[in-house]
Amino acid sequence: MKRLRGVNLAQIPIAYVDIRFFVHATENPKKVVEAVRRLLPANHIDEIIFERSNLKGHYGNPITVFEIRIKKREIVKAVVETLSSGLGELDKKALLREIGSHVEKGSLYVRLDKQAALQGEFKLCSADPVRVRIRFKKKKLEDIIKNCRELGLVCVLQCFTQVFAFPL
Amino acid sequence: MKRLRGVNLAQIPIAYVDIRFFVHATENPKKVVEAVRRLLPANHIDEIIFERSNLKGHYGNPITVFEIRIKKREIVKAVVETLSSGLGELDKKALLREIGSHVEKGSLYVRLDKQAALQGEFKLCSADPVRVRIRFKKKKLEDIIKNCRELGLVCVLQCFTQVFAFPL
Amino acid sequence: MKRLRGVNLAQIPIAYVDIRFFVHATENPKKVVEAVRRLLPANHIDEIIFERSNLKGHYGNPITVFEIRIKKREIVKAVVETLSSGLGELDKKALLREIGSHVEKGSLYVRLDKQAALQGEFKLCSADPVRVRIRFKKKKLEDIIKNCRELGLVCVLQCFTQVFAFPL
Amino acid sequence: MKRLRGVNLAQIPIAYVDIRFFVHATENPKKVVEAVRRLLPANHIDEIIFERSNLKGHYGNPITVFEIRIKKREIVKAVVETLSSGLGELDKKALLREIGSHVEKGSLYVRLDKQAALQGEFKLCSADPVRVRIRFKKKKLEDIIKNCRELGLVCVLQCFTQVFAFPL
């Protein structure tokens, strides 16, 4: 948590944070919401009310969509702190290495594993995620990378020890 | 269902059928079992008791594994009939086209979408499936393909109108 | 070579064999033809005359296409023998395991590495291959697999020791 | 070409440029070198002498490796100008979108299609490329992106109109 302690709220380079996730027909909505709450500051939990809507999946299967836009500076800061202190170094390296697939039009998309979140762990995943969208004030990729480093969302050190080789 | 009506039980070229699926921590086990029951004959439902065991996922998340081996001829026949009449032509084409990744050591592996199953629809999927393993008596790939055609599990007609082109 | 020695020419279950390959602008056509000749019987080399035509690649780059249809039984038999004795066990396993992507409408497509062929080695590849199409008389996948086994083009033994695991 | 006209040579944020490519056994080395020369300034062509070495490919096939490190400021500038004016907007978007797979330890790797280069066109490719490595003086990803934008190597405008959707 320490990384952002000194950050003045007004200075946070983020416009808002969206959180969005699905609850599938075989799931227990309470359990999924419980998982997502691990990201959210306990002292604001009553203010954070997800909007619900209904979708049909590929096979006509019902899906409940939960979503919220968080603009309140303290909550935005708390969510980013939780992510920053909760994501592991490998995931922060992966975010930086594949930054092009995580950033779109001024937003960083972090997709978190639902099952891990329910255990209080924040891990990147691709299938059926809790999707956190962090909308930055500046939109250029290089500015977003700089912001992400300062916020501790991607690795801070020179971390390009890529696994794959460059045969040519 | 008609396809197998005339098949003598003793002639079914199948040794047994295994059904196996996971229940994740955000899921409601009753809902998942309800989904799987759509595959099973209603008149035998009391005999079909899944064994449960516990796994830990990648992130220490608890997973309950449900599994059963079905050897009783009538139930085997009923499950195969349900699959045969429930799988769509596109899925049957896909099974035949990618038969090499669905058959291993004498068994056909059919992975069904949980959410679709809960709607009474049987659709192939890859992530978090209800896995049905059909163990054949003969083990050669060409024999299994022949059996699958006769049982209506893969497409019967000449169905190789592949989507992808062969540039060379 | 011994595998097909006893096969009566009239019995070969193959209608014809097509060979097709590209020569790119940076290539030396003589070298590429030399590579392809490793597949062909020396005593018939004068009869085997490739048709040439010209293509434009994605970037307007010139490509010369070489192709031939071989119907003469002795040459068909010789090419199949060369493939059968030249392909390694790993490639024969791969062909069987991924048979669905190698067979289309009654033909087996074997794509050989050009550079390996020039060394007298026959290895499966995917990019810029020498493409051999073997058109069988019977068109059902199970019949083609049976024929391929008998001709020694795919592995003969029970060879499904797949590398990938089936987690579910 | 105009983009870099005003850039003071001393200011170029690049330490050196490496060019590296393979000549395969079916290729004509002269043709491949001719393709690579399209990248190089005609007035310095006599100074640019590739080192050659020999590799064995997977199948024992001989490969000749050609490589050179260019440190002379004028030649570095000329190569970067040629790339900057020759790469299309789609490729520059792709470079930025997938920047994480093109940058490693302070270097941008641009892989160019050999056949296109021989036509005087510069197109990204993945298989059998002419590999250009641009080693920057600063090593942070955000600095390299900034440099690449200024040099016209990646798209300059807000160009993240990604094709793929974000379903969640």
Nearest CA to CA, how far is A135 from chain B (Å)?
Answer: 28
Contact B119 A61 (CB under 8 A): yes
User: Sorting pLDDT into bands at 50, 70 and 90, what band is C67?
Assistant: very high
Distance between CA atoms of residues C98 and C81, nearest Å: 21
Strand ranges in C57-143 using DSSP code E only, listed in sequence order: 62-70, 103-104, 107-113, 129-136
Chain B neighbours among C 13-32 (CB < 8 Å)? 20-22
Whether the pLDDT of residue A69 is over 60: the answer is yes
For D136-143, what is the mean pLDDT? Answer: 95
- Coil vs helix vs strand at D153: coil
- How confident is the model over D108-128, as a mean pLDDT? 96
Please, are residues C107 and C134 in contact by the beta-carbon 8 Å criterion? yes
> Are residues D149 and A129, on separate chains, in Cβ contact within 8 Å?
no
Query: Which residues, at least 6 apart from A126, have a Cβ–Cβ distance to it below 8 Å?
Result: A111
Neighbours of A79 (CB within 10 A): 21
D27 and C31 in contact by Cβ < 8 A?
Answer: yes
**Six-digit token pair at C14?**
């193959």
Quick one: pLDDT band at residue D70, thresholds 50, 70, 90? Answer: very high
Model confidence at C128, pLDDT cuts 50, 70, 90, reads very high
Q: Which amino acid is at B141?
A: L
User: Are residues C158 and B139, on separate chains, in Cβ contact within 8 Å?
Assistant: yes
Say which residues have a Cβ less than 8 Å from residue D79's Cβ, sequence separation at least 6. D17, D19, D39, D40, D41, D70, D132
The 3-state secondary structure of chain A, one letter per residue: CHHHCCCCHHHCCEEEEEEEEEEECCECHHHHHHHHHCCCCHHHHHHCCCEEEEEECCCCCEEEEEEEEECCHHHHHHHHHHHHHHECHHHHHHHHHCHHHHEECCEEEEEEEHHHHHCCCECECCCCEEEEEEEECCCCHHHHHHHHHHHCCCCCCCCCCCCCCCCC
Task: Report the C-alpha gap between C119 and C48 in whole angstroms.
Answer: 21
Q: Do D158 and A139 touch (CB under 8 A)?
A: yes
Tens of pLDDT, residue by residue over B117-142, are: 999 999 999 899 999 999 999 999 99
- Cβ neighbours of residue B82 under 8 Å, at least 6 residues apart? B1, B38, B39, B40, B41, B122
Tell me the pairing of strands C51-56 and C62-70: antiparallel
Q: Is C110 left (phi over 0), alpha (psi -120 to 50) or beta?
A: beta
Q: What is the pLDDT of residues C5-50, one digit of tens each?
A: 556 766 899 999 999 999 999 999 999 999 999 999 999 999 999 9
Q: Which residue in chain A has the smallest CA separation from B58?
A: A116
Range of lowest pLDDT (A67-76, B156-165, C145-154): B156-165
Interface confidence (ipTM) of the complex:
0.86
- CB of A146 within 8 Å of a chain D CB? The answer is yes
Measured between beta carbons, which residues in chain D are less than 8 angstroms from residue C61? 115-116, 118-119
Helices (H), B27-87: 29-37, 73-86
pLDDT mean over C138-148: 95
How far C133 CA lies from chain B's nearest CA (Å)? 10
Lowest mean pLDDT among A90-104, C18-32, C129-143, C151-165: C151-165
pLDDT at residue D1 above 70?
A: no
